[in-house]
Each structure stands twice: as structure tokens, then as C-alpha cells.
Amino acid sequence: MTENKRFRSILLFGPPGVGKGTQGKILGSVPGFFHLSVGDVFRSIDIGSPEGKEVCAFTSQGKLVPDELTIRIWKKALDAYVALSWFKPREDLLVLDGIPRNVAQTSLINDNIDIRHVVHISCSDEEDMIHRLRRRAIRENRADDANEEVIRRRFDIYREQSKPVLDCYPPELISHVEASGSPAEVLSAILKALIPIQNEHFKNED
């Protein structure tokens, strides 16, 4: 990390296929937010490189990439975006998407990340999300979501390892947003939760 400083952050949280990436990208286009998806970082690595091969061995199976490797790659990406001034920590709230994904990662990112709010996007209809993931897999050529067994493993891992992350944050820090609305409706609920957080951030800019 380039600065010994904790970045003010928002966590977009929820199961696979719930629209975190779509909403995160939209949010990232609003001045004052910078969206960083670990899944996107992993997909951008050259799969012929040793690091890329190692990552792909897990992502293609729908399994979590080991914590040490995940944190190392994620910090490298974050450092690069700070160095390029794409992410300006004094001005922008960092929108985390895909990390922390287990309880151990909540501590591992703690030195660098100050979570100001958690937006939990939830969906009670797992079959609907599986359907969405398969459609996206075709559209975006994503190997992990083309195979039903891999998708189901991603959900099992979410339930067993990721969902407990929510218990690491105080309930008053968490907004729950239902994913089944239209994308504009979901966006509106997310913005409603985040506008006060951004206003506070602008007040406290140093």
C-alpha cells in the first residue's frame, strides 16, 4: 500500500448473480466513488502467467482463491489505481466488491480499509439467480458460471464462508436491499443508503 492510511470504503455485499458488479460499475461512474471488484481484477490477470494460472485453478472451480494470494493481488491493484490517481483516497469512497469474502479477510484488510457502510443486496430466489448467472456466462464468456455444478458450489461457499462476514459489522452499518426490483429500483435503494455516507465523507475531507 502506498500510504499508511485506511481508505474510507463502502462494501457491496451479496451472493453471486445479485447484481453487485452492475451496481458497483454504475456507482463507480458517480464522482466521489471508486469501484474495485476483486473478481474483475482476477479476470484481468494474464492466465498464462504463474499467478494467473494459480488464480484460475480456483476461480474456474467456483472456489475461493487462497487469502494470501487474494490480498496480495488486490493490494497490488489498489496501489496501482492510487498511483495512477484513478482512485483518489481523499476525494473518493472506495466501493469494495467481492472482498472481504470470508471472516479471515475482514481482519486481513482491516489495516488498509475503514468500512463506513455495508450494502447487502439479497435475493430469496436462488433459482432465479442461477438463471441470471447462466445468462451472464453466455453473454460475458465466464467459464465459472457456465457450469451448474460450479454455480451451486459458489452458492454453497457464499452461505458457508461469505455470509458470516455480515456478522462482523454492527447492524446499524448495514443496509439491506432487495435484488428482485428493476436495476433502477435497486440503484435507487443503494443511493438512498449511500448519499448520507458520501455527504459525511465530503464534510470530513482532509
CA distances from 15 to 154, 156, 190 (A): 8, 10, 16
What's the closest the beta carbon of residue 63 comes to ligand AMP, in angstroms? 6
- 51 and 73 in contact (C-beta within 8 Å)? yes
Q: Decide whether 28 or 62 has the Cβ nearer to ligand AMP.
A: 62
Nearer to ligand AMP, 70 or 198 (CB): 70
Rounded Cα–Cα distance for residues 115 and 129 (Å) = 27
- Residue 145 C-beta: closest distance to ligand AMP, Å: 8
**Residue 108 or 177 having the CB closest to ligand AMP:** 108
Query: Least Å distance between CB 85 and ligand AMP?
Result: 25
Give the Cα separation of 85 and 28 in Å (integer): 14
Residues lying near ligand AMP in the complex (CB under 6 A): 16, 38-39, 42, 58-59, 62-65, 70, 98-99, 101, 105, 144, 154
Compute the distance between CA of residue 186 and CA of residue 144 in angstroms, rounded to an integer. Answer: 25
Residue nearest to ligand AMP (CB): 39
Please give the grid coordinates belonging to residue 117.
Answer: 457502510
Give me 16's grid cell. 453471486
> Of the two residues 46 and 172, which places its CB atom closer to ligand AMP in the complex?
46
User: Smallest gap, in angstroms, from Cβ of residue 198 to ligand AMP?
Assistant: 23
Return the SS3 of 53. helix
**Residue 101 or 132: which CB sits closer to ligand AMP?**
101
Q: CB of 188 within 8 A of CB of 30?
A: no
CB of 17 to ligand AMP, least distance (A): 8
